[in-house]
Structure 1
Amino acid sequence: MAGNFKVLTEDHQFQTELTQAGAKLVVADFTSARCGPCQRIAPLFAEMAGRFPNAVFLKIDVNQCTVAAASQGVTATPTFIFYRNKTKLVSLQGADAEALEARIRQHYGDGAEEEIEDSGVPGHIDLIPMISKAGCECLNESDDHPFTEALSSGGGYLESDTDEQLILYISFNQAVKLHSLRVKGPEDCGPKTIKLFINQPHTIDFDTAENANAVQEITLSPKELEGEVIPLKYVKLQNVINCTLFVKDNQTEADTTQISYLQIIGSPVQTTKMADFKRVAGKKGESH
């Protein structure tokens, strides 16, 4: 059995596991020993834990952990609920292994080595697992220090090439809500003015970015470049499929701009689809 697969038998274990998981994806299977569909998908769920080692898989019997199940709104079994930073992302009801794996892949990120930071903002997460890197683009990035180096705090940095300006086009694999940013950079050549655009059909050019009205324009102080949370206009950013950050200038008019870390904080848009909440028919007495 994979080390990231755990069977919970007491209510208090649930919140403990969510806390200990931190920014890792948690997939909780609310199940019942009396539910036939639950028992059929159980070995597949355990097998998935071995294929997604950077996630935590919890098997929770609703008859043993009644408080945990009730607190999460579980009304039928099996119900799979996904979490990061103790934040509920989405739920899926029914013993559909194909749909379950697809949802895991959607929220898991690019792979087992994905570096995911704690957002530090209650109720919101680091959105890096929801960034579709193949759909991202950065204009005027240096070949030696590309955009991807700024998406983790591993020591690299993004640097502009021919002048101080940058355009970062960031595509998400699902609709998200943007709550805030965290930007780190040197006090001399870190970014100063950032214009934020959303849901552009393609990467905008520098002339457009300079002249168009942005959803929000941010002026960063050197202190904020130490990693302070920068609030965004949350009410205007409730259904975002891509965002564009135009870095207009830097702190001291240096020749190039550097960003050592960029964190986008928010949450997935909670959408209810009837397919996600179907009951799986079974024999009488099988379902919880």
Structure 2
Amino acid sequence: MSTQPGTTPTPEPGTSLAEQTHIAAGGDVDVIAIAPDPAEAEGILENAKLEDIFDADTYAKAQNLIARYPQSRSALLPMLHLVQSVQGYVSQEGIAFCAQNLDLSDAEVSAVATFYTMYKRRPCGEHLVSVCTNTLCAAMGGDAIYKKLQTHLGSEEKPLGHNETAGTPNEPGSITLEHAECLAACDLAPVIQVNYEYFDNQTEEKAVALVDALQAGKKPAPTRGAPLTNFKGAELQLAGFFPEDAQQYRTDVDGPSQAVETLRGAQVAQDRGWTAPAMKDVPLPEVEKK
């Protein structure tokens, strides 16, 4: 420490340097996908023009998104979904595409793309299968289902890992498996999502039959919600683009989203005449002025 009159202590470098300033990543964390090795990333943008990857229609959709917001940067989240609807993941080119259209730096886009798990940093399969392994689902069999799918889609010797793909990414029948945090369906645990559509009350046997059907090119009906599409199709919807034809729009997105279990409490309250007590408006406490 060094000090001068009227100043606070200024830290100075010590004599012993730390050998490691981070905690080692777990076995299922893809460090390369999060932050590519410079040798692997070198020249990636110089060798591929964005126009060769994202066609005129994609650029038009990007401008459509920007026009929906008072500030262009607010369109970043849906635009990242738009990129995934084209490539099946957010590539370095996809990050540059978003940055170019939104007048942001690549670093600003990367900070968002690596924060949310819904943005994939390696090519995804035709279908994304998410197994909830949070507390209640895990206790109800979610952990066992995930382990079963790991070996079923991989092997006993080499189970499929988190965010790894069985088959060739983007090709028909390919499946990316992930263990997910709470999928907000505790009343229907354990649950699986395929491209973010729900398959409730799962068992190991049901889960195996589900992925077998997906690999065979079938699209099993979700327990509730919209009809099943592929990962890229779901990403286009998440970006905010739907068929212009009203009938096709209804076919693509309509579906019962509620379940008997979800409404059971409300039904019991109605049958028994239960109502919540009226709440009185209470003035907020005064805040001390700074």
When normalised by structure 2's length, the TM-score is 0.31
Higher helix proportion, which one?
A: 2
Higher strand proportion, which one?
A: 1
